[in-house]
Amino acid sequence: MNVLLVGSGGREHAIAWRLAQSKKLGKLHIAPGNPGTAQCGRNVDIGSEDVEGLVDFAKSNDIALAVIGPENPLAAGIVDAFERAGIKAFGPCAGAAQLEADKAFAKQIMRSNAIPTAESRAFDTFADAKAYIASRDEPVVVKAAGLAAGKGVFVCDDPADGILAAEKIMIDRIFGDAGNVVIVEDKLLGQEVSILAFVDGRNIYVMETSQDHKPIGDGDTGPNTGGMGAYSPAPIVTEPLMSQIVREVLVPTVDGMNRNSTPYRGVLYAGLMMTQAGPRVLEFNVRFGDPETQPILMRLKSDLLEVMCAVCDGRLDEVTLEWDPRPAVCVVMASGGYPADYEKGKVISGLDAAAEMEDVMVFHAGTAEKDGQIVTAGGRVLGVTAMGATIADAKANAYRAVDMIDFEGAYCRRDIADKAVSPAE
């Protein structure tokens, strides 16, 4: 079976790597891909948001399944377009992708299905948002309702900061139309976890747990990024807690989406805060998370292509997922200056030596090939991922690999997975 994978980040390299191991795979094409995905299949020079170009390519290259990595093409209706062309596509249709693309929609689904989340209000004028924030004397979280590459959320400790955030989003329009509406919600306290599940419209199959690290700095300081690292599993999610999450969050979401006539198919990602009052949804994503996918897929032993086909065909109950019990840790190496301005084109050294380490995968994200060398081409450059007997071992392995790799200005957090390492380790 020939597959077209859409996207070009670390997540897509991890997906391509696993798909390439499938017994069912014929040819794997990645559009547009990166130098890492080029080691797993053939990169095709079509942008991930060029829906028409991608569908045309699939029609003329005998593609049986399209796998969509990022959220933007999903929100733009790429799955609908593939299905109109008679090609199976892994991911939700545009109506269901609103769960991520429109936080006001997500809040409404949560409200009408009694799914636990922070109290919130939506505003479409700055004046109203400002008046509301000023009336609150507790910390608030201000979010652009639309897609902002994971950077549209401001956690504010006082109303003045909250008003400034709303101004940046609604008046300075730093996220463009994604900031036409803001959501202002109560700030929640607790540890965060990401729960990813395969959903086929009816059946839910939860993957191993993970936790990402959004802020740029050690100790969760500084501005939010696309994600600076992740580990799997997240020991905080005990079995009873997972049952509670499935019962209180995943099942009502899938049911609610059916009732809303936007049935859900693909990967459903619930970003949760484990508060003292129980799990609360911070956000939904409608695709694999980046970088959580890297440690999760490193641990997946089953055939990913078979699982994706089962999701598309509505027969997820026929597959089983097998996992490597060993933990995995992914450390993101970023360009100096990210998430603000950074330079590109820095030559990366040490990739081959790191790739030779046992139980290590160096997933490419913002890289490019230039004159036979791999150079930096984005903010998040590499996702260095390693397994180990314990989470502490996996962390040590990942940083050993990180320390073999270098490029001018390279930056990474040094505390990835510390939250999960027990003092005894």
Residues contributing to the site for ligand AMP (CB under 6 A): 118, 141, 143, 150, 153, 155, 185, 187-188, 192, 214, 224, 271, 282-283
User: How many CB atoms within 10 Å of residue 343?
Assistant: 11
| Shorter beta-carbon distance to ligand AMP: residue 88 or 214 | 214
Minimum distance, C-beta of residue 127 to ligand AMP, in the bound complex (Å)? 23
* Cβ 382 vs Cβ 12: under 8 Å: no
Residues in the chain: 425
Minimum CB separation from ligand AMP for residue 145, in Å? 11
Residue nearest to ligand AMP (CB): 283
* Residue nearer to ligand AMP on the CB measure, 141 or 394: 141
Q: List CB contacts of 227: < 8 A, sequence separation 6 or more.
A: 150, 212, 213, 214, 289, 290, 291, 292, 332, 380
Closer residue to ligand AMP (CB): 214 or 299:
214
Provide the pairing of β-strand 265-275 with 191-200.
antiparallel
How far is Cα 350 from Cα 335, in angstroms, rounded to an integer? 16
* Chain-centre distance for alpha carbon 353: 28
Of the two residues 196 and 310, which places its CB atom closer to ligand AMP in the complex?
A: 196
Q: Measured from the CB atom, is 91 or 271 closer to ligand AMP?
A: 271
Instruction: Report H helices in 135-172.
Output: 159-170
51 vs 154: CA distance, rounded Å: 31
CB of 119 to ligand AMP, least distance (A): 9
d(CA 422, CA 192): 17
- Residue 141 Cβ, how far from ligand AMP at the closest point, in Å? 4
CB of 191 to ligand AMP, least distance (A): 10
Least Å distance between CB 283 and ligand AMP? 3
CB of 243 to ligand AMP, least distance (A): 23
H-helix segments, 90-208: 94-101, 103-112, 126-134, 159-170
Residues 213, 229 contacting (CB under 8 angstroms): yes
Residue 159 tokens read as 């109303």
CA 87, CA 82: separation in Å to the nearest integer?
A: 5
| Closer of 274 and 328 to ligand AMP (Cβ) | 274
- Least Cβ distance, residue 101 to ligand AMP (angstroms): 12
Report the residue number, 47 or 223, with the smaller CB distance to ligand AMP.
223
Tell me how far apart the alpha carbons of residues 404 and 350 are, in angstroms, rounded to a whole number: 5
Give 150 or 291: the residue with its C-beta nearer to ligand AMP: 150
